């Protein structure tokens, strides 16, 4: 089985090294094609106005000056002798759940693989903060992901469906179980912070934060908050099918 690995945290991210160790429990045919720099929050974007620069690390490790989507296309369409059987994107530093999946470059890597007709899975590890420092229990995803991936390999996914897996921030021994979940909902957490440079001119940062939402019981957010591993099937079809009849009547 040939596996392509990518991420959005960049080629030097610890989560990518964790992912490679996970993948090597499934196969020896592993290719790593990841962004040269951090591409967090770039979602399913393409690099169209600049050339893609490729840096070869060794025969099966490459860095691309581009997005996770660029990396998947570069791997499948150019670098690999044959298309992979599986694409895994991650392991992201931090969860990718609820509305955040629309921003996520990690999920986007799996989206692009799904568009190419390849079984694709996104993995993310939640963290805690200690005085502003991220504390990531990488041992949780490294211990639990291999068995989950082996099970998912035996599941035939419907066309246009990808899998998004989030791991809670707790000790591996404190995992409460695994839940198949729905994409949850969180309050919009982005605000604008204005600052000023040395000449007094304004510039701006996006600031990220969340409220105290009460998540739906079957959601990815609820699962992670209760120390469960969350497995969410996502689909490429964004059509709001339940609204079609309403709109058809409105425009009849």
Alpha helices (runs of H) in the chain, residue ranges in sequence order: 14-23, 68-74, 105-115, 138-153, 220-225, 244-250
Closest by Cα among 140, 141, 228 to 184:
228
Q: Which helix (H) or strand (E) holds 67?
A: none
The answer for residues whose C-beta is within 8 angstroms of residue 54's C-beta and 6 or more apart is 62, 63, 64, 65, 74
Measure the CA–CA gap between 108 and 76, rounded to whole angstroms.
15
The answer for residues whose C-beta is within 8 angstroms of residue 143's C-beta and 6 or more apart is 172
Greatest Cα-to-Cα distance within the chain, rounded to the nearest angstrom: 60
CB-based contact 231:180 (threshold 8 Å) = yes
Structure tokens at 131: 């005085």
**Number of alpha carbons in the 13 Å side-chain half-sphere of residue 151:** 9
49 is an annotated ligand-binding site residue:
no
8 is an annotated ligand-binding site residue:
yes
**Strand-strand pairing, 202-208 and 190-196:** antiparallel
9 is an annotated ligand-binding site residue:
yes
169 is an annotated ligand-binding site residue:
no
Count of all residues that appear for the chain in the document: 252
Structure tokens at 194: 């204005």
Which residues does the annotation place in the binding site? 8-9, 40, 92
Which residues does the annotation place in the binding site for a divalent metal cation? 8-9, 40, 92
């Amino acid at each position: 089985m040939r596996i392509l690995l990518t991420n959005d945290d960049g080629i030097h991210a610890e989560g990518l090294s964790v992912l490679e160790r996970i993948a090597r429990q499934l196969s020896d045919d592993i290719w790593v094609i990841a962004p040269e720099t951090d591409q967090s929050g770039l979602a399913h974007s393409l690099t169209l106005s600049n050339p893609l620069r490729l840096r070869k690390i060794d025969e099966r490790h490459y860095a691309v000056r581009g997005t996770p989507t660029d990396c998947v296309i570069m791997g499948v369409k150019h670098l690999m002798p044959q298309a992979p059987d599986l694409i895994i994107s991650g392991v992201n530093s931090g969860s990718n759940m609820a509305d955040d999946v629309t921003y996520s470059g990690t999920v986007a890597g799996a989206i692009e693989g799904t568009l190419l007709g390849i079984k694709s899975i996104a993995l993310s590890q939640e963290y805690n903060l200690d005085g502003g420092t991220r504390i990531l229990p990488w041992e949780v995803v490294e211990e639990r992901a291999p068995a989950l991936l082996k099970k998912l390999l035996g599941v035939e996914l419907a066309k246009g469906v990808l899998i998004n897996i989030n791991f809670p921030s707790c000790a591996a021994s404190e995992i409460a179980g695994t839940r198949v979940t729905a994409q949850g909902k969180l309050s919009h957490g982005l605000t604008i912070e204005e600052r000023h440079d040395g000449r007094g001119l304004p510039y701006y940062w996006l600031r990220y934060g969340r409220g105290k939402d009460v998540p739906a019981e079957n959601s990815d957010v609820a699962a992670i908050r209760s120390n469960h591993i969350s497995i969410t099937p996502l689909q490429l079809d964004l059509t709001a099918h339940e609204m079609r009849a309403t709109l058809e009547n409105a425009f009849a």
